[in-house]
Amino acid sequence: MAEWNAKRLADAAIGTKWTLRDPIETYLLASNDNRPYESDLKGFGRTFPHSFGDPADGLYYTQVLLSPLGDQLTGSFGKAAVLGEELGKDNAVDYLSLSFSGVDATNHFFGPSSLENEVMMRSLDRTLADLFAFLDEEVGRDKVLYVLSADHGMPEMPEHMAHQGFDAARNGHTALADELNAEIADAFGVTAAIKAFFRPYVYLDHQAILEAGADQRAIERLIVDSLSDRPGIALAMPSVPFPEQRGDYLEGPIRRNFHPARSGDIYVVQSPYSFLLDPGAIAVMHGSPWRYDTHVPILFSGPGIEPAKVSRRVATTDVATTLSAIFGTSVPSGASGLVLEEVLR
C-alpha cells in the first residue's frame, strides 16, 4: 500500500479538465447540464468541461472524488491489495471490501438527474468491468464471490421535483432552531431551550429548561406542533412519542435509528422530496426514511449461484449473516440480519 500511495495517482488530474467521453447526443440527460440549483465547487463549474484545480486550493481532492478518477483510483487500490496481500492464493477465505463513492459525491453536488451523474454511472460500469476482468485473470472466476450493495439511496433535488409538479421545499435547520427558540422563549421564558439542531434531531438543553422551571414535555409539544405546520416537514416525533403518534408508519424506522447516548430529543422528518439542510455547497442530502433514500440493490454473484431476481423485502444487514452461512464462519456478534436463503439454494 505504501508503494501504491507513493505513486500519487490522485494527482493525475491537476490542471486538467473532466470532459465527456462520449458524444453529447448519446446521453439521456444531456439537457440537464446547467441547472441553477446545482453546485459550483469553487470553480469546478456546473457544466462540462469541469476544470480541476490544484491541491493548494483545498478542494482538488474533493473534485477528484466526484469525478470518474475517484472510482478508478479505488479500483486501482483494490488491485494493488489483491497483488500485495496475495488474496485468493490459498484455501483460506480472503475478504476485500471496496467503497466506490464517486456516484455518491457527484449526487451531493449535482443530483441524480444530472448529466454528471449519468457520466459517473457509465464510468463506474467500466471501472467495475475492469476490476472483474482483473480478478478473473489473477484469482479465477470460480474462486470469487461478489456482493454489490449500497448504504443508502439518493433523493432528487426539491427544485427538480417541483418542476415535475410535486410539492417540495428546503428548510435550513439553523433557521428553524432560531425560530423555535424564539417561540419557546415567548411561551415558557426559556432562553435557547434548543442547544442544537443537527438533522434529523433536535437536542434540548435539559439544564436550561430545569433551571427555568419549565415543563420539557410541554416544550416538546410546542416544537412538534410548530414544525408539523410548516411546509416540507412531515413529522416531528419525541423520543417518547405522543399518544397520537403511536403506530405511525415512521415510528418503527425512527426507533431503529435511536441511540440513547447519541440521539437527540425530537426526530424531525422532512416531507417526501423536501430537504432539511442548511444552505451551502452540498446541494443534495440523503438520510430520510422515504423509499427513494432507503431502497438499494443487493447483488450476489459467484460460483454455484443461479441467476434470479428476488422481489421480497430484505435488508443490507442480511449480507453479513449470509456470508457467514456461505463460508461456514461464526456470525458477527453484532449482526442483526437474516440469511438470504435464495443465495444458498
pLDDT per position as a tens digit, 163-218:
999 999 999 999 999 999 999 999 999 999 999 999 899 999 999 999 999 999 99
pLDDT over threshold 90, residue 345: no
Tell me the C-alpha distance between 146 and 125, whole Å. 15
Percent share of the chain, pLDDT over 70: 100
pLDDT over threshold 90, residue 57: no
Domain ranges of the chain: 2-144, 170-276, 308-345
Contact assessment for residue 78 and residue 99, using Cβ atoms and an 8 Å cutoff:
no
Residue 41 confidence class, pLDDT cut points 50, 70, 90: confident
Residue 219 confidence class, pLDDT cut points 50, 70, 90: very high
Q: Please state the separation of Cα 194 from the chain's center in Å.
A: 27
pLDDT averaged over every residue in the chain: 95
pLDDT per position as a tens digit, 275-313:
999 998 899 999 999 999 999 999 999 999 999 999 999
Strand partners of residue 236: 268
Tell me the C-alpha distance between 209 and 191, whole Å. 8
What length is written for the chain?
A: 345
Contact assessment for residue 17 and residue 50, using Cβ atoms and an 8 Å cutoff:
yes
**Phi, psi of 58, rounded to the nearest 5 degrees:** 95, -15
Q: Is the dihedral of CA 62, 65, 66, 69 positive or negative?
A: positive
Class of domain 170-276: alpha beta
Tell me the C-alpha distance between 96 and 146, whole Å. 10
Tell me the C-alpha distance between 186 and 61, whole Å. 47
Torsion, Cα of 221, 224, 225, 226 (10° steps): 120
Task: Please indicate, yes or no, whether the overall pTM of this predicted structure exceeds 0.85.
Answer: yes
How confident is the model at residue 319, as a pLDDT?
97
Place of cell 410535486: 166
Closest CA to 197 of 173, 222, 181: 173
